[in-house]
Structure formats: C-alpha cells, structure tokens
Amino acid sequence: MTIDAPAKVNLTLRVLGRRDDGFHEIETLMVPITLADQLEISLRTDQSIRLTCSDPSVPSDASNLAHRAAAAFAKHSGLEFGVDIHIEKKIPHGAGLGGGSSDAAAVLVALDRLLATKIPTEELERVAATLGSDIPFFIRSQPAMCRGRGEIIEPFEGLTSADILLVKPPFPIPTPWAYQAWANSEKPSATFQQFHGSIPLMNDLEAPVFSKYLLLPVLKSALRTHPGVSAAMMSGSGSTVFAILRDSAEGIEEWIRSEFGETFQTFRAQLLTERGHLL
C-alpha cells in the first residue's frame, strides 16, 4: 500500500500551563497541508519490522515513530505480522510541521486497512496518543482544534483554504527545548495582529523561540512586509515560518533566497480544509 502522510501548520497555538504528567496543556488549531511524505507499506512473512527512508539522517530503528507505530498496532490488535515500511521523505524534520507524527499515523491507518481490522477511528486515535501528542490529529487529518496535550480533537469546520509558503531555515528546533523555554520565559499578554478570515493567528512559542533564534523574527517580519503575503507566523515549535499568500506572490521563493541565502528551503503548499489524505 502507498499512502500519503501530510504535514500540518498551527494557525493558533496557545500554551495554557504545565500538566502534572510533565506535558503542557495546549489549545491549537492544526490544519493539514498538501506537502506530504509518501509511505510504501507491505506485509512480511516473518514478524520483523523493517524501515527504510530516503533521508539517511532519519533513524530507521525503533526510535523512529513509524517503526514504533507498527509495534504498537501489533500489540493493540494482538495480531502477529511483520511489515516493510519505506518513507519517501518530503517534509523537513525539526521544522514544526509534524512529519514524524504524520508518518506514524499513516502506518496505523495503513495496517488497519491491510489487516482488515476495522478499528474505529476514535480507538485508533487512542493508540496514536500512546506514541505522541500530535499523532492522533493525523489519523483523520482534517482541520481540528486540539486540546489537552493535543490528543483531544474537535474537527473544525468552515476554514477557508489558502496557498501558503513554508520557509525552513537551515537549523531544527527541538520541541522539548521550545516548551521549556516557554516555561522559563515571561508570559506577554496575547495580542492578535493577524487573521486568516475570522481566525486570529497566534503562537505562544514564538516569543521564547525568537529570543534565541534571532533569524526567525527577521524572517517573519520580512515575510509580513512582502506584498504577496497576507500573514506570516511560526508553525508549532519551529523552525518553519509559513506565509499565507495573496495572488501576487509570484517570485517570492527567489526573493527569499536572495534575502536569506540558498540554505533556506521553501515549499509551496495549500491548506487542506476537507477530510485529508488518510481516511
């Protein structure tokens, strides 16, 4: 089976405090986008899990979320099987785009189909939640308001689609570090200066991340002043900054490279406003 695993952006991300379990209580509007990894998944005659990836920097052992997802599915279903997983990597890692989480969700969905287990969506989301906070969102892969540590999912209707530009600087940002930086920082009052339709755009992790990674606020400011951009903000814990584009955004990729250099990756994508790639 070949299955797409879409990236996501956060249109809002509010951090509400630290929980007793060590995670942070959040409220975030996550939206899948057309940039996606592609996974090829096939059953084996033995019971081993074999994973390969087109990006050699991505681990292929049990530390990979997709590998762990296959093991979790076997444990939950009680079935004995082996699987070959190949990930054709398109989503940059350490980018705040959820690539690893989406890959894991794609494995769960693909195995449910290949093995004809017909596990209910909500049950599959609970399995996903044991692996990581963002993974349940990618089971349905549709716009959703996610609460708790990210595992409480409420589909979000009426979102307007848009073309976006993702700009990935030449460095990753570890998610645990970003949340710890938030915990150690002063908490400014929320101000909403940008909107997508009626949705106020806000990311509470921007201020602590921007205070260390000084290129990011420069990048965001530059994008906001471009005539082809209606809004710009960091996605998740970074390092990607995305811009919501107007019709006049032709040539913006070349402009980014001229301003920031060839090491800044750019990707064109669209917000996916309907039920996404997986189910």
On the question of pLDDT at 30 being above 90, the answer is yes
CATH 3.30.230.10 location in the chain: 2-155
* Residue tagged 């292929």 (tokens): 60
Q: Any idea which architecture 163-270 has in CATH?
A: 2-Layer Sandwich (3.30)
Catalytic residue among 37, 103, 134, 204: 134
Q: Any idea which architecture 2-155 has in CATH?
A: 2-Layer Sandwich (3.30)
Catalytic residue among 8, 89, 168, 220: 8
* Residues 207-222, mean pLDDT to the nearest whole number: 96
pLDDT digits (tens, 9 = 90+) for 142-163: 999 999 988 899 999 989 999 9
Model pTM score: 0.93
Using CA atoms, how far apart are residues 62 and 70, in angstroms rounded to an integer?
10
On the question of pLDDT at 22 being above 80, the answer is no
CATH 3.30.70.890 location in the chain: 163-270
Q: Is the dihedral of CA 275, 198, 28, 202 positive or negative?
A: positive
- Give Rg (Cα) of the chain: 19
* Residues 20-43, mean pLDDT to the nearest whole number: 92
- pLDDT-wise least confident of 74-78, 181-185, 257-261: 181-185
* Residues 163-174, mean pLDDT to the nearest whole number: 96
Catalytic residue at 247? no
Catalytic residue at 118? no
* Residues 48-72, mean pLDDT to the nearest whole number: 96
Q: What is the pLDDT of residue 276?
A: 54
Q: What percent of the chain has pLDDT over 90?
A: 85
Token digits of residue 193:
């200066």
